[in-house]
Every structure is written in C-alpha cells, then in structure tokens.
Amino acid sequence: MALAVSHLVGGYSQIPVLKDISFQVEPGELVGLIGLNGAGKSTTINHIIGLLTPMKGAITLNGVTLASDAQQYKQQLAYIPETPILYEELTLKEHLEMTMLAYGLDQTKAWERANKLLKTFRLDNKLDWFPANFSKGMKQKVMIVCAFLTDAKLFIIDEPFLGLDPLAVHDLLHLIGEVKANGASVLMSTHVLDTAEKFCDRFVLLHDGTIQTQGTFDEIKAAYPDAGESLNDIYLSLTGVTRDE
C-alpha cells in the first residue's frame, strides 16, 4: 500500500478531533474522503502532510514515516489546498521554478511537463504574471499545475471542484486518471458527492472524528441496503442528521 493511516488520534489542541482513524490508499487508487464541515477531513489531511503531529497512531507512506525520514516522506507527497495559497512576490513561472527547485526536479523534463499542463489549463500566456492577482479558479489551476509537476507517489487534493470551471474539472479528473495509471495514489476530500461517486475507487466516510464506513461504492451500498441509491442519500442517512421535510 502507498499510504497507511493506522489508529490515528490527533487534532490541534489537547482535545483530539480525530478518534482512532485507520484507512489505506493503494497505489493507483483514488480515495474520496467524505464528511460534513467539521467532520475531521482537513485535520486528517493536515496530519498526513505533516503540519500536525499524531498524538497516537502512525502514518506511513511507502514504509516511511515523517519521524523516520522527513525528506523522503515529503518527496513522495504533493498537496493541493482547498484555498489557493500563493507567494505574492513570485510570478507564475517562478512558482513553477520554485516547485522544481524544492522537489529537486530535472528542469528540462519538468518544463516539458509544465508546458503541457499550462496549455491544458490555459495559463501558458500568463507566465510572467503574479498569480496572487488571479481569480479564484485560476489560482486553483496554478496549484494544480504545481502539484502535478512533481513526481509524487501520493496526491492530496482538498476540495478541488469548487471554483473551477467545468472544463477545468474535466481536465483535472483526466489528470488524476493519468497519475493513477502511473501508479500514484490520490486522496481527495470533497463535498461534491455525485462527482465523487462517479470517479472515486473507494470512499472513507468521516463523521465526528471517526470513520463511519469505508469501501467501494458497491460495498457501502451492500452494507446499508436501506440507506438509499446514491452516495448522497447514503451519506445523509449514515450521518444520522435528519431533516424534517
């Protein structure tokens, strides 16, 4: 397996947000991390990318943990945040170069890939601009290009669909398919459940800091036959939040 989270207990302060979470992401697999606001999705992601240290449990990435070899661990990881985060003083071109430098990528090869990505997301004529002044969707695209520039083994994508135009969503899903075919894993958190239902190989449903259920869509449907037909219905009934309508 690529990513293994086992018995993770963690959070921002003394009080744990995540209560004993275990799941895995296999190579070539796209796993959807689903949950309501405050369910613990972002906390889980922050633990995996190393911003938070687990109180208990372990996170291993192809056998490496942050504690055993931080650099090797980080080298395998690329991250696309929910809100685009950019350097105010760097141009688009320099954002890409910075990523190449930080990940120690071969410049010629990386630029080949970058140019292809820039063309796909229609950013190729904005290389000398400051992306900090771009619109939300375009900033998001810069994040995507930077992340997919790397040769990461695990891509962590936090809510990628909001703010992107339909064409970009399509291109992103295509891109995810491409890296999957190359054996990389993708962990994606999202609220857009119908897209997730169509594209994710497996799901991890988080609720109140615990894993409600996990598995493929068919597995989940088989386990909860009365919950409904779509991921949306199943999720709503599983969280136990009822609406009086």
Partner 1 sequence: MNELYQQRLQRHLRQMLHYLRLVFNDHFVIALMFFVGGLGLAYSSWLKTVTTHDTWIIVVVGVALWLGLRVSRIATLLESADTVFLLPREHDLHTYFQRAWRYSWLLAIPVQIIWVGLVSPLLMLVDQFSGLSLLALLITQLALKDSDLTLRVTKLYRLSPQQHRTAASVNLIGAAVIMALALAVNPWLGAVLALALAGGQRWWHGQIWTHTVVAWKANVASEANRMLGIYRFFNLFTDVPLVQGNVKRRKYLDGLLRLMPADRAHAFGYLFTRGMLRGTEFSGLVARLTIIGAVLLYFVGHGWLAIALDVIFIYLIGFQLLPFYKRYDNIVFTHIYPLAAPLKLKNFQRLLTLILGTTGVIFLIAFWLTNASLAQVGLLLVINVIEIYLLVAWYAKLRLG
Binding site for partner 1 (CB under 8 A): 49-51, 70-75, 77, 79, 81, 85-91, 94, 97-98, 101-104, 130, 132
Nearer residue to partner 1 within complex by CB, 68 or 210: 68
> What is d(CA 174, CA 178) in angstroms, rounded to the nearest whole number?
6
- DSSP structure class, residue 37: T
Q: Determine contact, residues 140/164, Cβ cutoff 8 Å.
A: yes
- To partner 1, the closest distance from the beta carbon of 36 in angstroms equals 23
Nearer residue to partner 1 within complex by CB, 146 or 220: 146
- To partner 1, the closest distance from the beta carbon of 205 in angstroms equals 25
Nearer residue to partner 1 within complex by CB, 123 or 211: 123
Q: Determine contact, residues 84/142, Cβ cutoff 8 Å.
A: yes
Residues in the chain: 245
Strands (E), the chain: 3-10, 18-25, 30-34, 56-61, 77-80, 154-158, 185-189, 202-207, 210-215
Nearer residue to partner 1 within complex by CB, 47 or 207: 47
Nearer residue to partner 1 within complex by CB, 111 or 224: 111
What is the β-pairing status of strands 30-34 and 56-61? unpaired
- DSSP structure class, residue 133: G
Nearer residue to partner 1 within complex by CB, 71 or 242: 71
SS3 content of the chain, % helix, strand, coil (to 5): 40, 20, 40
- To partner 1, the closest distance from the beta carbon of 60 in angstroms equals 16
- To partner 1, the closest distance from the beta carbon of 153 in angstroms equals 12
- To partner 1, the closest distance from the beta carbon of 123 in angstroms equals 18
Nearer residue to partner 1 within complex by CB, 51 or 67: 51
How would you class 93 by CB atoms within 10 Å of its CB: exposed for 0-12, middle for 13-18, buried for 19 or more? middle
> What is d(CA 26, CA 9) in angstroms, rounded to the nearest whole number?
22
- To partner 1, the closest distance from the beta carbon of 8 in angstroms equals 18
Which residue blocks in 164-216 are alpha helix, DSSP H? 166-181, 193-199
- To partner 1, the closest distance from the beta carbon of 199 in angstroms equals 25
